[in-house]
Structure 1
Amino acid sequence: MKRFLFIFFFSSCFFAFSQTKVGGIVIDETGSPIAFANIIFKDSSEGTITNDNGRFYLESDETYSTILVSFIGYETKEIVLDQKVNYNMEIALQESAEQLKEVIVYTGKQSKKNNPAIEILKKIWAKKRENGVRKFKQYQYDKYEKVEFDLNTIDSALIKSKLFKGLEFMFEDLDTSRITGKTYLPMFLNESFSKIYGDNIIDEEKEDVLGNKNSGFSGNQAITAFVEDLYSDYDIYDNYLKFFDKSFTSPLSKTGVDTYNYVLSDSTFIDNKWCYNIIYYPRRKNELTFKGDFWVSDTTYAIKKINLQVTKSANINWVKEIYIEQDFDVVNDSVFLLKRDYMLSDFSFSKKEKSRGVYGKRTTVFDNYKFDTNRPEEFYKAESDPYDPRVFSRDSTFWKNARLETLNEDESGIFKLLDTLKTVPKFRTYYDIVSILGSGYIEIDKWNLDIGNIYSVLGFNDAEGTRVRLGARTYFGQNDTWRLEGYMAYGFTDKKAKHGFSAKFLLDRKSRLIFSGGNRRDIEQLGLSLTSTNDVLGRSIASSSLVTVGANDRLTNINLSTLNFEVEPVKNFRVRLGGSFRTLSSALPDAFGLDYLDPESPSGISSEVKQFDLNTTLIYTPGKRTIGYGVERANINDDHSTLLLNYTKGVRGFLESDFDYEKIQFSYRQPWQIGGFGRLTSSVELGKTFGEVPLSLLSVVPGNQTLFTLYNTFPNLDFYEFVTDTYATLHLEHNFNGRLFSRIPVLRKLNLREIVGIRGAWGQLSDENIALNAPSNIPLIAPEDQIYWEYSFGIGNIFKILRIDFNFRGNYLDNPDARPFGITGTFGFNF
């Protein structure tokens, strides 16, 4: 959601000098556009390929007088350029009267054996582990990176619109993209300079960030995190390149011969190296593929230059163009090193040619390579602090030396433009509206306070009826070392006020020592998660869902107080120690009883539990990346695994606590990118309770009576349908990202995505716990005789925002009111 709103903000509030510019369309004799035609400046290696609609744009810093236009099966056309800027060209190619002799291209299985381009590909595969920094024992180099966002497709109608009345000064200096030929206005720029150190023997790499400079919206953590996640690193030699949470098949991949058509197009000297030029384009539409070309050395078979452009038919939302260029430097006869990496993304609501959007551009320049300097392993383990205040306060002299590629006039002007915009009330209004929609909080700067979350103001459940909630939090900046947060709520049926309050303090930044505590008194739908948490402000969607399946009356009054210490002794490994005191009782006793046998009660039965627990939790998240150094950090990736081990000790007698027991729980969640076949998410949970405890302290297999698709729950189970003291669950969900539907002609253009899932649960409930909870007015059943299981089929990307799942129950169909089938769904803005 934050990603979508970020793009929406720039889209709605929207001359590096070059010598030769050409643009237009390539058609055949009937007027039909020719996709993937090759356009090149004559006597150069600078060129491009037409898109799916036959359109192209090409520019160069050099002056050229002629372009060559060619495509397999058509005669090459040579066009003289009358002037330096040539737009709206219409180039018609004639079918070739003669069969090509230089390069013979076959189709089907034969082309994979006899196509000379594929023979070159095989040599690239054989050499790819020997090229670049992999050839050396150790390496180091300087890395300069700039990330820029620009408003594009700006015309007079936009400038004169009411939306920008009073903001016309923004458009005084417009530039033209050398990739698309569209006008654009720079709006955001982030620069960083770092030194990279690596050791191929021990497989370690370290990055020391020495400088970071941010123009635009540097104080907005959501935007900064979005930018960080958007442009992750990639290696063109890998089989799959990941962008926007999707895996695109690399043209250098070993599976590329099944995905792309390859044509050996040309050969020439580049930097005194004889290189072959290979054009590639996809065999099928709607797959996550590129089109483009690359130049490869005839001796080392290392890539000298490559460009990749995502086809418009690719199954990806909100992105109209992705264009990548990489240039490699020739160090000697056998060493080619990455010199410059450029990536442009055109974000837009529509893929139509004239639609407005936002350019996201990343340029990374590499220099000062050094090799075979041996360093101890401890050097790589010792992490630098990327949030050292000195990193963000470098002077102009530092940046003059650090910029491996100088800023052009428009990039330099971003700083001044944004400073001016922030003083304009109308712009601040636009910014505030989008910030509220993205974060859910209304900022009150003069009080350093945020009001929200606006998305939880209204709710409904059987116990409270209609419910209103208003909350607030302190906010001085994204790196606050302490934060206070709280809310008040009121139910119009039970006519009771509820509240929650939490406080967090970062005591030591290096070890991430955090002290936290709070209290919550509210009504909650428990049993929606096996691995218990003590989040005093958390609230499940099932607690306030407007529409549910069946009676949603198994709600609990909860009064929870917590006190915790957390430390991160090693990166991504957290240790949490704490205590909690809970008072639990049914919110609707007539429908849902939490009664249990209590010899000390006058009636022999108690309906309320008071419980003090000590908790130790270990959380390991290898590969997780975060941004910020305050008490609350933002995650910038979701492709990491999460391992959690939790031990709970119930202490009877302390603060009138009722039960002595022990509980141990383990969970493991892992996303897997299965090449071009999509993304598999898996999770395993195990747990056991030692001792006799009432229903409110047992482990409930998570049901789901809402109409929302909630991962790690069982959508065909009612709340509290299965109750255990020993359990094991498995969830598997695979999103094919349209891999199958793209093969079906009728469905291909809809860009739908197929999702399949299977999940199972096994558990036991001891006779002693069954006896203790005998007064309960709900059945106490555990899936012990056979593993309970479900499966589902889903269709995602409906209208680009909707996913619908069809869920089937595999067994236990004789349970009271068992639901054999159900439909759930969810909304979301995903690439």
Structure 2
Amino acid sequence: MNGFKNIVSGILLLLVSGFSSVIAQTTTTVKGTVTDSRTGAPLPFVNVFIPGTSIGTGTDADGKYQLEVSITRDSIRFAYMGYKNITRKINPGVVQTINIQLESTAKTLNEIVIKKKKERYRNKDNPAVELIRLVIENRDKNRMTHYDYAQYNQYEKLEFALSNLSEKISNGRLTRKYKFIFENQDTTKFAGKSILPIYLEEKLADVYYRRDPEKKKTIVTGDKKVSFENFIDNRGLSQYLNHIYQDVDIYDNQMMLFTNQFLSPIANSAPTFYKFYIADTIVAPDSTRLIKLEFYPRNKSDLLLEGELFITLDGNYAVQKADMTANKEINLNWVRDFHLYFDFEKTPDGRYYTNKQTLMADFGIFKGSSGIYGERTVSIKDMAINQPKPAEFYNGASVVEDEKTVQHGEDFWVQNRHDSLSTAESKVYSNIDSLQHMKSFKRTADLLTLLLAGYKQAGPYFEIGPVNTFYSFNPVEGFRPRLGGRSTPRLSKSIYVEGYGAYGLKDEKWKYYFGGAYAFNHKSIYDWPVVALKANYQHETKIPGQELQFVQEDNFLLSFKRGNNDKWLYNKIFNLTFIQEFTNHFSYQVGFKHWIQTPAGSLAYYKGTEPNTPVTELTTAEFSTELRWAPNEKFYQGKSFRIPLPNKYPIFTLRGIAGVKGIANSQYNYQNLTLNVYKMCYLGVLGFSEVVLEGGNIFGSHLPYPLLTIHRANQTYAYQLESYNLMNFLEFVSDHYIGLNIDHNFNGFIFNKVPLLKKLKWREVLAGKIIYGGLRQENNPANNPDLIQFSKYTDGSSFTYTLGREPYIEGSVGISNIFKLVRVDLVRRFTYLDNPGVSNWGIRTRVRFDF
């Protein structure tokens, strides 16, 4: 969630001057149906708008529309790709019905019988289904992967803009000084809407494909984007926006749109989930005979598409053009409307390739209010097939981009863009640059950065934060004020320092941290790919077995915990780590850690059968190696964090630790090996699962239990994916284990079929966690009084156990997407129910941004 907040802080920088939605009073209502003048078939997705304004709407799947107008205008216009535009007079101030018949601009043929949609639909003996099955059968030979080699020049343009801004916003008292920004609105790009560009990104590349062994190599030749570098991580913002607008291939079974999978209308199982109708036959400008095919979801609430396909009749049965969107009834957050267009061009051997695709979307909370418009266009030209390069050419990174050679002036882009920019787009670079140099905007952006990112500038070189750690509390330290900060890239791109100080009012002890890093590639140490040496020293408290994802341990909200929470450690830790990341997303770390731990609170270390032989502290020295491979990984990263953006590829992490006795008073020899595999599994209309498989083994004997694996527990009220949400801190210890966590989100597949729940747009989730483990006899303190014994409650009962009789199992069912952000789970623990102080049931919540 921290990553999303930082993204929001960047995108909304232009909203801080008082942008708000203005709901107009209805004075004129126009409604009706738009049909094809020749066939009488209803036309979906027709743009219906008031000329010269940003007021508009679109027809639904049945060709129906309704438009409410609060200004005095006397005409309405209807526009649709492949048809002649029509303008009609309207009567202001009344409710009126205007039915429209649009005339096609394409030539028509008469030898195909059109199947009327009024007939009872079935797949059997349906010529539309027979046609789509021919498309599916010929799908592989119409893909680029059909060729042994292919190469082309690719241009990408990603744009975000504010949409439907009211005059009150544009001319408001707080926005007058930014008048030059608001004068750059575009009313021609998207019918019925006015848009104000605030972000633009362009990229040019030469792309080379080889089928065997398969490799796609992209050499970036130009890269240009609007920069918010003074306020947020620009590369991270770009990564996140491109994650929302991923590459889409209609020939894939599943198409990723806004981080959700949609079943392609030409997927293998498409006839099971879609209805197909032959709507028309036409002749394209190049004399190619085409069939216009309409498709609709059988169940309007499933995560499916609807639209039109134009299929060639030259024996290839290829898609020549496509226009698609989603039914308004699907469970999709924040996206009010979107359209996906594909255009295809013939290759020299007579087949087709995608030469242009455009995804346009209108994001917002309420219908008709101001929002954000996003558009991504990818175009291809200079296609060449079966012209191989030398084998060594395909070696190395999949994407090659040299920051020193991809930055070009405007002359380069004028000559090499596949399409020219609109007037509004061409001004966005200079306008945003001018905006960021205005003192009033800097002050407002600085305030937003504090509220959303948690840091406040303290001069050009340092910033104070994070705010959510300034105040927290726990049973050992009591109230705990903290103050810290970090350097900015303006101080040095190669050197990064951070630190903080905290004080416990109850234990009356200071805690502190100081760390730094040096980047050998002279970039930010969080700018991928990292090559850096990091060192830090920390004197701090910690809960054994608590591991958090992407948040600070002394976050104020994590101060609230269930059950007994007074088993803590005082740690003195020195870390030295070298990390190197490679462009193929393989990375390694080697490090040294010196750790002195002292029990605190009710936690005590002692030997023997009675606590009369106390152990005041444990000292270890560890050498470690971590190997990580995350193919095709993308992530959003800020100045001090990195949040992976899930995709279909697995992530492998192998860690090895060797404790060495005798170094700086280290007391033990041991080795620890763990393997973690994370995989996001997409299941189409059934949703997606996050799967984590982890196993580990500690080699060594007669080891104290604090050096063994203390399984990840969770006594907060937040739901955590890789922790056991009803396990108490320090409850289970093992020296070998294997665990499996599965968290499945149905994406509303079930709830969308229940009327009330469908309206709420809730989504159902199901999770299960299981872990097998154990403790070898030589490491079990029950068999050896010379080992540190498991700590006990005051009544003599133990609060630490081993796994052995049976696995630990817990599961949960929940509802997500409450208010589009909140997830609530009912968690059930199934094993080890007799352990003292455990909860068999629990309610956990999680905040997560999803489309």
- Same fold, TM-score > 0.5, yes or no: yes
Please state if 1:288 is matched with 2:308. no
Deviates more, 1:707-716 or 1:563-572: 563-572
Please state if 1:513 is matched with 2:522. no
Q: 1:113 aligns with which of 93, 114, 124?
A: 124
SS in 2 for 1:166: helix
Q: 1:722 maps to what in 2?
A: 732
Task: Tell me which amino acid in the other structure corresponds to 1:607.
Answer: T
Is the 1:598–1:604 contact (alpha carbons within 8 Å) kept by the matching residues of 2? Answer: no
CA distance in 2, matches of 1:502, 1:227: 32
Deviation at 1:473, TM superposition (A): 1.4
Q: 2:350 maps to what in 1?
A: 334
SS in 2 for 1:167: helix
Is the 2:460–2:490 contact (alpha carbons within 8 Å) kept by the matching residues of 1? Answer: no
Q: 1:787 maps to what in 2?
A: 807
Q: 1:74 maps to what in 2?
A: none
Deviation at 1:470, TM superposition (A): 2.1
TM-score normalised over the length of structure 1:
0.86
SS in 1 for 2:168: helix
SS in 1 for 2:115: coil
Task: Tell me which amino acid in the other structure corresponds to 2:806.
Answer: Q
Is the 1:758–1:791 contact (alpha carbons within 8 Å) kept by the matching residues of 2? Answer: yes
User: 1:155 and 1:774, CA in 2 relative to 1: closer, same or farther beyond 3 A?
Assistant: closer
Is the 1:741–1:754 contact (alpha carbons within 8 Å) kept by the matching residues of 2? Answer: yes
Q: 1:613 maps to what in 2?
A: 622
Question: What do residues 228-279 of structure 1 show as CA deviations (whole Å, max 9, x unaligned)?
Answer: 3222111012121112221112222233333333221111111211101112
Is the 2:203–2:220 contact (alpha carbons within 8 Å) kept by the matching residues of 1? Answer: yes
Q: 1:235 aligns with which of 227, 230, 249?
A: 249
User: 1:344 and 1:775, CA in 2 relative to 1: closer, same or farther beyond 3 A?
Assistant: closer
Q: 1:830 maps to what in 2?
A: 850
CA distance in 1, matches of 2:327, 2:585: 37
Q: 1:773 maps to what in 2?
A: 788
Deviation at 1:830, TM superposition (A): 2.1
CA distance in 1, matches of 2:776, 2:445: 58
Q: 1:391 maps to what in 2?
A: 405
Deviation at 1:425, TM superposition (A): 2.9
TM-score normalised over the length of structure 2:
0.85
Q: 2:457 aligns with which of 428, 443, 456?
A: 443
Q: 2:839 aligns with which of 819, 826, 830?
A: 819
Is the 2:675–2:694 contact (alpha carbons within 8 Å) kept by the matching residues of 1? Answer: yes
1:360-439 paired onto structure 2 within 5 Å: 360-383=374-397, 386-439=400-453
Is the 1:681–1:732 contact (alpha carbons within 8 Å) kept by the matching residues of 2? Answer: yes
Deviation at 1:80, TM superposition (A): 5.5
CA distance in 2, matches of 1:739, 1:732: 18
Q: 2:337 aligns with which of 318, 321, 335?
A: 321
Deviation at 1:227, TM superposition (A): 1.8
1:27-426 paired onto structure 2 within 5 Å: 27=33, 37=44, 39=46, 50=60, 54-55=64-65, 81=87, 90-92=97-99, 102-105=114-117, 111-217=122-228, 220-221=232-233, 222-270=236-284, 271-299=286-314, 300-331=316-347, 334-350=350-366, 352=367, 354-383=368-397, 386-426=400-440
Question: What do residues 475-501 of structure 1 show as CA deviations (whole Å, max 9, x unaligned)?
Answer: 126993332121212222222221112
Q: 1:527 maps to what in 2?
A: 545
Question: What do residues 513-552 of structure 1 show as CA deviations (whole Å, max 9, x unaligned)?
Answer: 32111111111112124xxx9x9x9843699723211111
CA distance in 1, matches of 2:407, 2:47: 44
Is the 1:682–1:731 contact (alpha carbons within 8 Å) kept by the matching residues of 2? Answer: yes
User: 1:37 and 1:361, CA in 2 relative to 1: closer, same or farther beyond 3 A?
Assistant: closer
Is the 2:605–2:789 contact (alpha carbons within 8 Å) kept by the matching residues of 1? Answer: no
Task: Tell me which amino acid in the other structure corresponds to 1:413.
Answer: K
Q: 1:562 aligns with which of 575, 597, 601?
A: 575
Is the 2:47–2:191 contact (alpha carbons within 8 Å) kept by the matching residues of 1? Answer: no
User: 1:574 and 1:629, CA in 2 relative to 1: closer, same or farther beyond 3 A?
Assistant: farther
Is the 1:141–1:370 contact (alpha carbons within 8 Å) kept by the matching residues of 2? Answer: yes
Stretches of structure 2 lacking an aligned partner (at least 5 in a row): 20-28, 36-40, 49-56, 68-75, 102-111, 523-527, 793-797
Task: Tell me which amino acid in the other structure corresponds to 1:814.
Answer: D
Question: What do residues 157-186 of structure 1 show as CA deviations (whole Å, max 9, x unaligned)?
Answer: 222334423223322232125444111111
Question: What do residues 97-141 of structure 1 show as CA deviations (whole Å, max 9, x unaligned)?
Answer: xxx973144777x61123222211111101111114233210000
Deviation at 1:424, TM superposition (A): 2.7
Is the 1:152–1:182 contact (alpha carbons within 8 Å) kept by the matching residues of 2? Answer: yes
Deviation at 1:356, TM superposition (A): 0.7
Question: What do residues 175-219 of structure 1 show as CA deviations (whole Å, max 9, x unaligned)?
Answer: 125444111111111111000000122211010001111124255
Task: Tell me which amino acid in the other structure corresponds to 2:294.
Answer: I
Deviation at 1:638, TM superposition (A): 5.0
Stretches of structure 1 lacking an aligned partner (at least 5 in a row): 15-22, 42-46, 58-64, 71-76, 95-99
Total equivalences in the alignment: 782
Is the 1:704–1:717 contact (alpha carbons within 8 Å) kept by the matching residues of 2? Answer: yes
Deviates more, 1:462-471 or 1:390-399: 390-399
Please state if 1:732 is matched with 2:742. yes
Q: 1:73 maps to what in 2?
A: none
Task: Tell me which amino acid in the other structure corresponds to 1:517.
Answer: A
Task: Tell me which amino acid in the other structure corresponds to 1:801.
Answer: L
User: 1:39 and 1:592, CA in 2 relative to 1: closer, same or farther beyond 3 A?
Assistant: closer
Task: Tell me which amino acid in the other structure corresponds to 1:378.
Answer: E
CA RMSD for the aligned pairs? Answer: 3.6
Deviation at 1:438, TM superposition (A): 4.0
CA distance in 2, matches of 1:37, 1:744: 26
Is the 1:121–1:252 contact (alpha carbons within 8 Å) kept by the matching residues of 2? Answer: yes
User: 1:419 and 1:647, CA in 2 relative to 1: closer, same or farther beyond 3 A?
Assistant: closer
Q: 1:659 maps to what in 2?
A: 668
CA distance in 1, matches of 2:639, 2:152: 30
Is the 2:34–2:43 contact (alpha carbons within 8 Å) kept by the matching residues of 1? Answer: no
Task: Tell me which amino acid in the other structure corresponds to 1:345.
Answer: A
Please state if 1:650 is matched with 2:659. yes
Is the 1:479–1:628 contact (alpha carbons within 8 Å) kept by the matching residues of 2? Answer: no
User: 1:89 and 1:376, CA in 2 relative to 1: closer, same or farther beyond 3 A?
Assistant: farther
CA distance in 2, matches of 1:172, 1:544: 43
Q: 2:710 aligns with which of 695, 700, 715?
A: 700
Deviation at 1:318, TM superposition (A): 1.5
Q: 2:593 aligns with which of 569, 576, 580?
A: 580
Task: Tell me which amino acid in the other structure corresponds to 1:143.
Answer: Q
SS in 1 for 2:567: coil
Task: Tell me which amino acid in the other structure corresponds to 1:205.
Answer: K
User: 1:389 and 1:49, CA in 2 relative to 1: closer, same or farther beyond 3 A?
Assistant: same
Task: Tell me which amino acid in the other structure corresponds to 2:820.
Answer: K
Is the 1:105–1:115 contact (alpha carbons within 8 Å) kept by the matching residues of 2? Answer: no
Deviates more, 1:647-656 or 1:168-177: 168-177
Please state if 1:549 is matched with 2:562. yes
CA distance in 1, matches of 2:749, 2:488: 44
> Percent of counterpart pairs with the same letter?
25
CA distance in 2, matches of 1:258, 1:457: 56
Question: What do residues 403-461 of structure 1 show as CA deviations (whole Å, max 9, x unaligned)?
Answer: 011112111111221132223333333333333344332234x4322221122222221
CA distance in 1, matches of 2:824, 2:181: 43
Deviation at 1:49, TM superposition (A): 5.2
Deviates more, 1:458-467 or 1:468-477: 468-477
SS in 1 for 2:129: helix
CA distance in 1, matches of 2:238, 2:484: 25
SS in 1 for 2:676: strand
CA distance in 2, matches of 1:548, 1:484: 32
Q: 1:471 maps to what in 2?
A: 484
User: 1:139 and 1:104, CA in 2 relative to 1: closer, same or farther beyond 3 A?
Assistant: same
Q: 1:19 maps to what in 2?
A: none
User: 1:52 and 1:659, CA in 2 relative to 1: closer, same or farther beyond 3 A?
Assistant: farther
